[in-house]
Amino acid sequence: MKKNIKFLALAILVISSSFIFISNSNPPPKIVKEIDIPIKKELPVLVKKTTDTIVKKVVNNKLDSLLQRINKRYDFNGSLLVSKNGETLYSSQIGLADFKKKEPLSKSSVFQLASVSKQFTAAAIMLLYERNQIKLTDSVTNYFPKFPYEGVTIKNLLNHTAGLPKYFWAAEHLWKQKRAPTNSEMMTLLASSHVQRFFKPGRNFDYSNTGYFVLASIIEKVSGTSFSNFIKDNIFDPLKMDNSFVYSCTKDNFKTNQLNGYRLYRGWRHLKIGSTINDAIVGDKNIYATSEDLIKWVTGLNSGKLLTKESVEMMYSKGETSSGRKIPYGFGFRIDKENENTIYHHGKWNGFSTSITQYQKDKLVVIVLEHTSYNSITALNKTVKEIVMDNVKS
């Protein structure tokens, strides 16, 4: 009996050893395949993502330091958004929204764009142009027969070659009511004021807020709706710019997250800037937006969601005088004198300092919004570009 048990144990041991030897010398191909494929295919992707993450972290740290420095030294209270290659690389805010309540700025803070508003007015005109509702060669008198300055075309208004007088002066010296005049009231005031224009249409380039309030008035006349509604229905809503709006101090209520402009008094106290006699006019200013909405605007405009490529190219191209002299302004956009690939616009009004700059060759967009009378937008844009381009190589 014992011999049989030993023989059986020995047989089991031999069979088990053979099985182990076979298993170790011939591993299943499936396991090898599962190990090899991830190593070959996933490793480069992981390396790329790690590199991108490191670069983004470096840029974010440097831009954070920049914002902290200008907040402390130069009283910058605002937001900065940087987009590279069609993706947001950096977006942040620093400082206060309300100095009395000590409320910080946030992504929801809505800034007055000041003259950056002009590009929206120009885009609205181009929408009417594409719909064959207007011609760029049309005179203002086609729509407002009592307009006192003959020969001014829509194109003159767009690229500031109309030679019109300053409506600010007319409002401050000729408007008799305490409340601020609206666009239609200012058009009537100009018609009866006999204020002389600066030059004949097309002769020179002279940056003009008047021209853009007149464009907004044409938009209202042609569309049959308010400038505010037209911009909302045809630009803000299609681009999902949900926190953007047109604001007129005599028509609209102050909205949630809408910022006031401030000025620094005696180097430490922030005083709120009140409304002026010019704050009801729209078209040249008075569009409010967040930086997040503005990158939607730039992307939407450049991708053809709003206008054709041809229309956008006209907006981004230098204008010219009647003598053929080129001027550094398209339709609602400035064109850098030294580099035509840099398309930009700055704004400054009632404490707000703003800018959108597109470095087209570098596929870089810099958006700066501020509301405490910051005075170094140009230098800030230059510094931001240097930080990004020194660290992002593509």
The mean-pLDDT minimum among 43-47, 99-103, 155-159, 219-223 falls in: 43-47
Task: Give mean pLDDT, residues 249-271.
Answer: 94
Q: Is the pLDDT of residue 129 over 60?
A: yes
- pLDDT for res 393: 81
pLDDT digits 0-9 by tens, 262-312 = 999 998 999 999 999 999 999 999 999 999 999 999 999 999 999 999 999
- pLDDT for res 27: 42
How many alpha carbons fall within 13 Å on the CB side of residue 94? Answer: 17
Band the pLDDT of 52: cuts 50, 70, 90. confident
- pLDDT for res 53: 87
Q: Is the pLDDT of residue 17 over 80?
A: no
- pLDDT for res 246: 98
Percent of the chain whose pLDDT exceeds 70: 87
Q: If you average pLDDT over every residue of the chain, what do you get?
A: 89
Q: Which domains are present in the chain? A: 49-391 (3.40.710.10)
Cα 218 from Cα 59, distance rounded (Å): 44
Task: Give mean pLDDT, residues 122-127.
Answer: 98
Task: Give the chain's end-to-end CA distance (angstroms, integer).
Answer: 83
Strand 334-335 versus strand 342-349 pairing type: antiparallel
The helix-helix angle for 209-223 and 183-193 (nearest 10°) equals: 120
